[in-house]
Structure 1
Amino acid sequence: MNIHRRLRGVAYQTFYRLPHPVRRRIVRLVVPKYLVGAVTIIRDSEAPEPGRLLLLRQPPGRSWGLPAGLLKKAEAPAVGAARELSEESGVVIAPEDLVPAVPNAIVHAKGWVDTIFMGSVPASTTPLVVDGGEVLEAGWFPLDDLPRLTPNTAIVLGVYGMGPHAAHSPS
């Protein structure tokens, strides 16, 4: 057995003998911290293929993005996704009606993790309501003719085979 493996074993044994609160504090000091967000990809249930997506234009207002926001402390991701969707667009979907996307989480290099949920509503009977502050405008856009997207939105949609980065998404 080499010396490095033996030292690592001793370190783990020592660590696991520490009281749980001390172990937790050590882990929080050593492990990178991430913000966790919830994103919804909402399709128009009435639109013919390839379909339409709900997008939001937020300040500074040059590009369009998906309904999204940070989770509150101890908030379940689906609950946060439904809350952000309602707050930003006026679209109300029960958390249990949102479907976790596959993959359900995307880790971004700049230090946050997005949990992604899919849903659909009939655009013709679903009013879009924005506050004019956090969100300037909301609208439905054909998947084959999307407006200029925020970089993060283009990346997220690409993971699911949509938008300008769809060709680059993993298969």
Structure 2
Amino acid sequence: MKRLIARLWRAIHGPMQWRLLWLVHATFMVGVTGIVRDSEGRVLLLKHRLWPEGREWGLPSGYAKRSETFEDTVAREVREETGLEVRAHRLVLLKSGFRLRVEVVYEAEFLGGTLRTDGFEILEAGWFSPDDLPEGLQEGHRLLIRGETTRPATP
């Protein structure tokens, strides 16, 4: 029986194998977060309209799109939400274990642009000193800003 299964598997090679694997294995959304700092060491924080009341402030975050690198997700989300250009660098956190989500966090370099919010998802945006963070900041994001990466990254 094992030989038959192995022969069938080899016979269907390529895209069909990938489709079968996708059907039988867990499928996850990937939440990607960027820790963006400016030349003065301030961190970019956003007040998110759709996040839980009292915990609306956080780092730029969003979900990866199909066929998009996680570094590109950071750049796209920051650009869409703030109009700023960034480049993801060092991977800070890769965490699984959530029901249907994997969390990925990168440090990102601020390249330029004019800060403006998208008006729908983001209510406010600003640069904050790590010593003077706003009330209502996600605790996991506070820990990421401090360099403590033991907690989940997004709500």
The alignment's TM-score, normalised by the length of structure 1, stands at 0.67
Report the equivalent of 1:155.
140
Report the equivalent of 2:66.
73
| Structure 1 residue runs without a partner (length 5+) | 1-6
Which consecutive segments of 4 or more residues in structure 1 shift more than 3 A? 9-18, 166-169
Distance (whole Å) between structure 2 residues aligned to residue 107 and residue 100 of structure 1:
18
Distance (whole Å) between structure 1 residues aligned to residue 118 and residue 130 of structure 2:
25
Report the equivalent of 2:88.
98
Q: Percent identity?
A: 33
| Structure 2 residue runs without a partner (length 5+) | none
How many residues in Structure 1 have an aligned counterpart in Structure 2? 146
- 1:111-158 CA deviation, whole Å, 9 max, x = no partner? 122332212438xx85320022110000122223322223xxx33553
2:133 equivalent among 146, 151, 171: 146
Query: Residues 45 and 108 of structure 1: is their aligned pair in 2 closer, same or farther, counting only changes over 3 Å?
Result: farther
Report the equivalent of 1:82.
75
Q: Is this contact kept in 1: 2:92–2:107, CA < 8 A? A: no
- 1:63-121 CA deviation, whole Å, 9 max, x = no partner? 2111121222212222221111111112112xxx4203244x33251312233221243
Q: What RMSD over aligned residues (CA atoms) do the two structures have, in Å?
A: 3.1
Q: Is this contact kept in 2: 1:15–1:23, CA < 8 A? A: no
Q: What is the identity, as a one-letter code, of the residue corresponding to 1:146?
A: L
The alignment's TM-score, normalised by the length of structure 2, stands at 0.73
Which is higher, the Rg of structure 1 or of structure 2?
Answer: 1
- Matched position secondary structure for 2:23: helix
Q: What is the identity, as a one-letter code, of the residue corresponding to 1:144?
A: D
- Matched position secondary structure for 1:144: coil
Distance (whole Å) between structure 2 residues aligned to residue 76 and residue 84 of structure 1:
12
Distance (whole Å) between structure 2 residues aligned to residue 70 and residue 56 of structure 1:
16
Query: Residues 145 and 15 of structure 1: is their aligned pair in 2 closer, same or farther, counting only changes over 3 Å?
Result: farther
Q: Which has the higher strand share?
A: 2
Distance (whole Å) between structure 1 residues aligned to residue 122 and residue 4 of structure 2:
50
In the alignment, does 2:21 pair up with 1:40? Answer: no
Distance (whole Å) between structure 2 residues aligned to residue 128 and residue 135 of structure 1:
12
Distance (whole Å) between structure 1 residues aligned to residue 133 and residue 12 of structure 2:
53
Q: What is the identity, as a one-letter code, of the residue corresponding to 1:90?
A: G
